[in-house]
Structure 1
Amino acid sequence: MSVLSLILTAIGLSMDAFAVSLTTGFKISKDDRSKIALKAGMYFGGFQALMPLIGWILGVKFTKYIQSVDHWIAFVLLTVIGGKMIFDGLKGEEDNEFEDVHSNKKFLLLAIATSIDALAVGVTFAFLGINIIKSITIIGVVTFILSIIAVYIGKVLGNKLTNKSSIVGGAILIFIGLEILVEHLGLFAK
């Protein structure tokens, strides 16, 4: 696999992390922006690199098990987190929710949910004999950079959506979960 193909794969894998980082940036203060952007980059970039490595280690033997449930795991995690954000936003508790979203526990759950697909990609890399060190380095770095950029973009958008950012962020997470589920179930295949 060429470096360009790996970069394009990394961009594709990082889109969920990008969207989540975007919503994370909505309600952070200017003082917290750099800290939260770095945290998003480290969690999302780290898990996007770790999951293909785990998949590669597991190898082809477990492909059918991983591919059969990855979309359900991502869908459930993103829907639960997004639903809670919407519920709290409707109740007027969005400020507390966004502070909580920045917790390590929330970042861990979101990082796992957005990187499940990368696990299956790692299995594919093992099957194709692709250099795993080069692959996970590119995937991790691309996701790290895009996640940081997304937090900064989200901060700009958050200033325009101050009162309803929890609802918008929750809706985006649910949409990502639905997109993953629909894509893997092939519900709208041509």
Structure 2
Amino acid sequence: MMETGMHTGQLLTLLIIALALGMDAFSLGIGIGLKGIRLRDIIKLSAIIALFHILMPLMGMVTGQYVSTLLGGVATHVAGILLLLLGGHMIYSSLRGEAVQSFDHRTVWGMLVFALSVSIDSFSVGISLGMFAADVLLTVLLFGFFGGLMSILGLMLGRRASSSLGEYGEACGGVILFTFGLLFLF
């Protein structure tokens, strides 16, 4: 019974973190969508983002598991600090009003740069989750699903929405990661 409760708690935590990381893809997707994007490009770009949201946390989790064995009990605090820094950076970036870099999102290079830019946070979170020995397969599948889904939603909404909405998505994701960082520390 206790194992089910812990598994449910872990699942809920992973869902919330996956949604928070997807917010970055959502907010930047709005910016790209505002430039005008074809449906075929939305599907290609979202698939690449989903793939990066699987690969980046996977690499981070492997790194985090290695770091965890080196650090022992300090790993929980280090993971909390990483999430605090990551969440704080996302909040700061959204408040500062960084614009989406101008590049051609239809080229392979443009799609890879965009996918990397919205997935790099997943690597850092993967390091933290690797220190906690989170379920690797579940984590990367959730991150990939929500990264792809949120990018589709952002790109589609960007075709119809004003540019001011994008900043709030990244800030919301940052607040969620920052909160989890605090919870891991205390």
Q: For residues 4-43 of structure 1, give each alpha carbon's deviation from its aligned partner in whole angstroms, at most 9, with x where no partner exists.
A: 6465443233112222232243304323111111111011
Matching residue of 1:128: none
Flag structure 2 segments of 5+ consecutive residues without an equivalent: none
Contact 2:87 2:174 in 1 (8 A): yes
Separation in 1, partners of 2:114, 2:145: 20
Matching residue of 1:20: 24
Q: Does 1:168 align with 2:165?
A: yes
Q: For residues 104-141 of structure 1, give each alpha carbon's deviation from its aligned partner in whole angstroms, at most 9, with x where no partner exists.
A: 3453343232443332222122xxxxxx7xx2122112
Secondary structure of 1:48's counterpart equals: helix
Q: Which amino acid aligns with 1:73?
A: L
Separation in 2, partners of 1:82, 1:153: 19
Q: Does 1:82 align with 2:94?
A: yes
Percentage of matched positions with identical amino acids: 10
Contact 2:82 2:125 in 1 (8 A): no
Matching residue of 1:120: 128
After superposition, the Cα gap between the structure-2 partners of 1:104 and 1:145, relative to the gap in structure 1 and judged at 3 Å, is same
Matching residue of 1:178: 175
After superposition, the Cα gap between the structure-2 partners of 1:49 and 1:107, relative to the gap in structure 1 and judged at 3 Å, is same
Partner of residue 96 from structure 1, selected from 71, 95, 102: 102
Q: Does 1:68 align with 2:74?
A: no
Contact 1:52 1:120 in 2 (8 A): yes
Contact 2:64 2:127 in 1 (8 A): yes
Separation in 2, partners of 1:145, 1:69: 23
Contact 2:105 2:114 in 1 (8 A): no
Matching residue of 1:54: 63
Separation in 1, partners of 2:111, 2:149: 19
Q: Which amino acid aligns with 2:131?
A: V
Contact 2:87 2:176 in 1 (8 A): no
Separation in 2, partners of 1:72, 1:16: 14
Separation in 1, partners of 2:117, 2:156: 25
Q: Does 1:142 align with 2:148?
A: no
Separation in 1, partners of 2:150, 2:165: 15
After superposition, the Cα gap between the structure-2 partners of 1:180 and 1:97, relative to the gap in structure 1 and judged at 3 Å, is farther
TM-score under structure 1 length normalisation: 0.67
RMSD: 3.4
- Aligned residue pairs total 168
Secondary structure of 2:40's counterpart equals: coil
* 28-37 vs 15-24, which moves further: 15-24
Separation in 2, partners of 1:184, 1:11: 15
Q: Which amino acid aligns with 2:85?
A: W
Separation in 2, partners of 1:9, 1:182: 11
Secondary structure of 1:53's counterpart equals: helix
TM-score under structure 2 length normalisation: 0.69
Matching residue of 2:39: 30
